[in-house]
Amino acid sequence: MKIVILEGSPNQKGSSNMLADCFKQGAEEAGHTVVVIDAAHADIHPCTGCVHCGYEGPCVQKDEVESIRKKILNADMMVFVTPLYYYGMSAQLKILIDRFCAFNSSIQRKHMKSALIAAAWNSDDWTFEALEAHYKTLVKYLNLQDIGMVLGYGCGTPSMTRHSQFLQQAYNMGNRLK
């Protein structure tokens, strides 16, 4: 299976990307091909809502989204990776997802698999409720097949994450993919 990981953390060595690395390692060891897209550091402009794309491309903006689009549409699975910022995904990941409007139908037709990997400082049981709801809405709207979530409660720093069970959970999710 071809997997594209969409990383939305501005901190390249942060907790959410650590979890993504473990997922990637597990998936590659299981024989899958993995491409990582660093959405947080890519040249991605916000959607202006001009609808020039007609909701199925091309976008009038000339940035990295066209090359990212090709990678996504070449994949069988998308993994959304984000730190939890004010109980939602990072703006860096959201800006990429907003640009999906230029190829929503292409994503919907693929029936791709998807997963969510996130890290939060908080460990309250309600910490991820808003992010989970947003992700589940994306799954439904984009006609994705959710294979699971790794929600790193109490993973506010890399040190906290290294001492948690979530690295192993991310590895296992990647390694058990069919």
pLDDT of residue 24: 98
pLDDT of residue 170: 98
pLDDT of residue 73: 98
pLDDT of residue 18: 98
pLDDT of residue 58: 86
Q: What is the DSSP letter of 45?
A: P
User: What whole-number distance in Å separates Cα of residue 139 and Cα of residue 76?
Assistant: 14
The residue type at 177: L
* Best CA proximity match to 153, nearest among 143, 140, 166, 139: 166
> Is-contact 105 55, C-beta < 8 A?
yes
Task: Give Cβ neighbours of residue 110 (< 8 Å, ≥ 6 apart).
Answer: 73, 76, 143
Mean model confidence pLDDT for the chain: 97
In terms of CATH architecture, what is 2-175? 3-Layer(aba) Sandwich (3.40)
Q: What is the pTM of this model?
A: 0.97
Instruction: Find the helix or strand (DSSP H, E) in which 6 lies.
Output: strand 2-7
Dihedral, 83, 12, 76, 51 alpha carbons, nearest 10: 70
> Is-contact 5 24, C-beta < 8 A?
yes
pLDDT of residue 31: 98
Q: What SS3 string covers 46-114?
A: CCCCCCCCCCCCCCCCCCCHHHHHHHHHCCCEEEEEEECECCECCHHHHHHHHHHHHCHHHHHHHCCEE
pLDDT of residue 57: 79
Low-confidence residues of the chain: pLDDT under 50: none
User: What whole-number distance in Å separates Cα of residue 174 and Cα of residue 102?
Assistant: 29
